[in-house]
Amino acid sequence: MKALRSWSLHLLLLLFRSCVSAWLSLNDCGRVGSIRQRTFSDDNGRFQSTTNSDIDIPQTSHDSTFLSQVEDTVSNVLNHYGRENVETSDLVLSLNPPERESFGVARCLDTRLQSFRRNKDCPRCWLQRAHCICDQCPPLMIQEESVIRRIFLLMHHKEICLAVDTAKLILACFPHHCRLVVAGIGPEYQSSMKELQEAIHQPNCLVLFPSEDAQTFADILASNSKQQQNEKREGIGSDGSVRWDLIVIDGTWSQAQKIHKRYFPPTEKGGPQRVQLSSTSLLPLHNSHNAGHQQLRRHPIDLRTISTMEATRLLLKEILGETAASTGDGTTSVWDTMLHYQKISNEAAQRQLGPPRTKATPDSQLPMQCRQPRIQPS
């Protein structure tokens, strides 16, 4: 009897220990789950980067700085008119065209950002967390005294949060040099637009766009006299070299044409200089076996399938030189790394979106033996 009682007490003690261990495990899971949720959004649903030391993820891994700026811009517009009036058609009709465009773009972006937050997608690579590539694509380094001062990404609003967009990789590569500007929203609502408009009137500003008067960077340097370069006091580096502001337009080809026409007057009328890629840089793009430079969206003209990321990469390579920059370990050039980043991004976006959709061939264009037989009405 005494042995049976001792055995029963031993079983009760083991059961008690098991219950305590299970309770502690559940408590830890709940704590970790709440921490993970704060990684991508705070209590108000805004995009934030976590600073909690319990998480073994670098703070820059999922940096949300640029998307937070977009959200601030959207809030500035909608709060100006009152969020309760967002769906009021009378308000829209009463606005002048620039204000109406700002309001319309902000309203579209607000809907997209809300959906983005609900899905808890990554605010840096704009992919679902299951396909996030941020750990594979850390920021790159360009020397602080580089001849590149700032890179403005003038982006069509439909590109924001788009999985196949490549300009997000430029933001991820050079967060300290880049400025994200949403086309269609005025400078009174976003400081980056004001900064861009001020840069346009400086002589050391370049717009990457293949217009009729566009020149290669080498030709631009050759055409600028030494006296003209000395007058560019705003963009002088510590070694006396000119520091350039680069504006890159991001969107489909038709969107980019409209943005270029709207924001940049011709060079002969005081607009910024247009820069285009040299024939040497374009030569590898004609190699059909190297598809890493292409965007996932199709275009009937091959040259227009070049992604924003690849065009910017090649121009920076022309400006800074083949070996002017390297990755953190100094073993790989930034330009090779950027190309690798786009390949990683394209593959992740394809996994997320699935295989590309193909248009069905109309029955009238098929060979006779492949057409579906027509059933005659009885």
Number of H helices, E strands in the chain: 12, 5
Q: Is 337 left (phi over 0), alpha (psi -120 to 50) or beta?
A: alpha
Question: Which secondary structure element, helix H or strand E, spans residue 148, and what is its range?
Answer: strand 148-155
Residue 87: the pLDDT is: 73
Q: Scanning the structure block, which residue is given the tokens 């098991």? A: 18
**Cβ atoms of 213 and 267 closer than 8 Å:** yes
| Interhelix angle 308-320/334-353, nearest 10 degrees | 180
Please name the residue ranges forming H helices in the chain: 2-40, 65-81, 89-94, 97-119, 167-173, 191-200, 217-223, 226-230, 253-263, 279-282, 308-320, 334-353
For residue 354, what are the CA distances in angstroms to 124, 163, 267, 289, 316? 21, 12, 44, 22, 32
Calpha distance 366→116 (Å, rounded): 42
Burial of residue 201 (CB within 10 Å: 0-12, 13-18, 19+) is exposed
C-alpha closest to that of 154 among 25, 261, 77, 40: 261
**Cβ atoms of 102 and 75 closer than 8 Å:** no
Percent of the chain clearing pLDDT 90 (strictly above): 52
Question: Which secondary structure element, helix H or strand E, spans residue 275, and what is its range?
Answer: strand 273-275
pTM (2 d.p.):
0.75
**Cβ atoms of 334 and 142 closer than 8 Å:** yes
Dihedral sign for Cα 191, 192, 195, 201, please: negative
Q: 3-class DSSP state for residue 208?
A: strand
The single-letter DSSP state of residue 129 is G
Calpha distance 121→64 (Å, rounded): 11
For residue 376, what are the CA distances in angstroms to 187, 348, 363, 367, 373? 65, 48, 17, 20, 9
Ranges of residues in the chain whose predicted pLDDT is under 50: 24-44, 49-60, 288-289, 291, 293, 295-297, 299-302, 377-378
Q: 3-class DSSP state for residue 42?
A: coil
Residue 301: the pLDDT is: 44
Strands 244-250 and 148-155: parallel
Q: Kindly list the strands in the beta sheet with 244-250, ordered across the sheet, starting from the edge strand earlier in the chain.
A: 178-182, 148-155, 244-250, 205-208, 273-275
Calpha distance 259→268 (Å, rounded): 19
Other CB atoms within 10 A of residue 249 CB: 25
Residue 142: the pLDDT is: 78
Calpha distance 171→179 (Å, rounded): 8
Residue 90: the pLDDT is: 78
Q: What angle do CA 192, 196, 197 make, to 5 degrees?
A: 120
Residue 141: the pLDDT is: 83
Calpha distance 194→264 (Å, rounded): 14
Q: What angle do CA 343, 346, 348 make, to 5 degrees?
A: 105
**Cβ atoms of 250 and 162 closer than 8 Å:** no
